[in-house]
Structure 1
Amino acid sequence: MAVSKRKRVDVRDLDSPCMIVYESIVRQNCQAMLDRCKALGVQLRPHMKTHKTVEGARLMTGGSCSCIAVSTVAEAEFYADHGFDDILYAYPIAGEKKIERVLALHQRVDNFHVMVDHCDQLALLLQNSEPVTKNLAKPWSVFIDVDVGYNRTGVNPFYDYAFGLAETIDKLRSTHLAGLYVHCGHSYHCKSPEEIRTVVKEVARDTAQFAAQLSERGIACPVVGIGSTPSCSQPPDTVPGITEFHPGNYIFYDLQQHWTGACEVSDIAVRVMTRVIGHYPDRNRLVIDCGFTAISKQHDADTSLYAKFDDHSELKLLSMSQELGIVGSSDDRPLNLDNYPIDKRLFILPYHSCAVAGLHSVYHVVDETDTCTATWKPCRGW
């Protein structure tokens, strides 16, 4: 599928609010991660959940159209339709209708993998398996979701239950243990590259230890994967025992990533463009046409910042309703409203680019001259 071309348009002529993607920064971010993984000797399996586009996926995989992770069945179907042949559905599996769709993917994609962290999920797979013989069908390729500190999903590798789950997958004819999957979500609590590297070392150590213990029990574990954008953007020099990284947000980055120490502000590839639509000097406020349906209400817990204005540090997004944003002074000084005439365009750096991307049906791709050269349309649904 070719990049969606469009008439070249100045970014300021777009309707607002809209999401802007700076292509040169995206390319730099993607190439840097490919180079980093190559230097570490690990396979990159980029996660598609941030952007959900074919164009972004091709950049993240270096054009290979292979070895990706997704978070919805709709994404898996979307990428399968566009020729991607190694897809991990990295989400605990459940639901009769979804199982039917997952089975269809299993049958038509060369390397389609599912993820489990409970025996009941495994039972659902077995109830929806074709007969497995030497000449018919293929076993389910299963990753085990492992928790080593984030405490979201995943089995605890220090508990017997984890070993029992692995042994069951390994023994069944209808399943094959493809590997371990660990999300280093607690790296988002870090505040510096040094803190991130400490988290990665601990995660890599515990994950590799679990894989080694499985090996001692005669259970092969081909892939030992860890990931999150902070942990894969600022890893230590070596990650012994780890074979795969699966970050996702790095294609765009955002303020959250910057504040963890994962990236520089110059690495943030997205903006939301908005317009000034109201002046209220009696309360030292502006109003913009960008509410939580365009920028989301996710924010930094310490500073209560939803976002920052590019090139306007004196402005602060104070609050939002559905379609409106209330803007005040970042230092409580009076604003010179003449500097922000009605219809003035402002550009917002998002706190969380994944959330923002999920709110927009099209991304406007911009070159170094602030000219829109293409549009990317993301997959939607579950």
Structure 2
Amino acid sequence: MKFPSSSSSFPHYFLASTFNSLLLFSVLLLVVICKTYESVKLPPNVSVPAVLVFGDSIMDTDNNNKILATSARCNFPPYGKDFKGGIPTGRFSNGKVPSDFIAEELGIKEFLPAYLDPNLQADELATGVCFASGGAGYDPLTSETAGCTALSGQLEMFKEYIVKLKEHVGENRTNFILSNSIFFIVLGANDISNTYFLSHLRELQYDVPAYSDFLVTSASNFCKEIYELGARRIAVFGGPPVGCVPYHRTLSGGKERKCIQKYNNAMMLFNDKLMKELHSLNQKLPNSRIAYLDVYNPLLDIFQNHQKYGYEVGDRGCCGTGTLEVALTCNHLDATCPNVLDYVFWDGFHPTESVYKKLVPNILQEYVNQLQ
């Protein structure tokens, strides 16, 4: 590099050069930060101001810990051991859950707060919250048994949210947020896993096809209800292969701890009916963009071919023995695995943060065009 010959001009040249370097560094840093919070490529001219989530423990970001009646809670170690600060946050995982990754991938915010969080700031309302409650289902009996917030209760919270949002940003902005945000619904696993097969509470009343119809009707009605309240972009996750979670493998999978096929068959039937109903609903509701998001097949591939994804253990959770522990039975008295990154499951029901981190971006990218 050749500096100017005048000694008096050297400081000015040096300062200008330093300023330019700092400016370049700042721009690069900003790019990195933006990249961190938005990796899903949205179609041109598509805006997603907020994410609003309804569902169960897969999505719950701390609502259940504000509900005294439920035992489906996890506000204690070792839950949250890999979360920011290493603290339990009411998420049924060692770290972040899909609600968080969805908000992050869409470039909205790093964590999606629980609506029932007493410290929730008014500014958070405009970018989205989570209404999900661990243990919930499309079937009211599922939520009642778990002592959690039923889907009807989550709907009431959403109505209350709309009132608060209008007070904070005004009616016009509220209408814009509701019509352009993406609403995510994740339910069904507890209905088939717990209410139908484990407790047998619905078996005498319904066979599997009839129970699937009952659940699909509930899902469809809920979509109509939030549509009437202003939702237009609605993403409904299909159910996961519940027969492959460690809990069910332990109880019914035999010595080889195989997946329980009848559970998975029931879920596949439900998913097929749900997908068809949502497609029909999308044609009936004006200006709606309702998408069915297949999570069953991607998860089944991870569960059955875990080594392909870098995991060593696919049939046990990291917490305790990894066979049955979940919620209250996965606690600080239990040992945890040496390296959670080796495990597909965190506890007897819930995948690790690592699995969600692999799963969510791919699913969003696959279906985002259907929601524009």
Which category describes the TM-score, using the shorter chain as reference length?
A: 0.3 to 0.5
Q: Per residue, is there more helix in 1 or in 2?
A: 2
Q: TM-score, normalised by structure 2?
A: 0.35
Q: TM-score, normalised by structure 1?
A: 0.35
Higher RCO, Cα 8 Å, sep 6+: 1
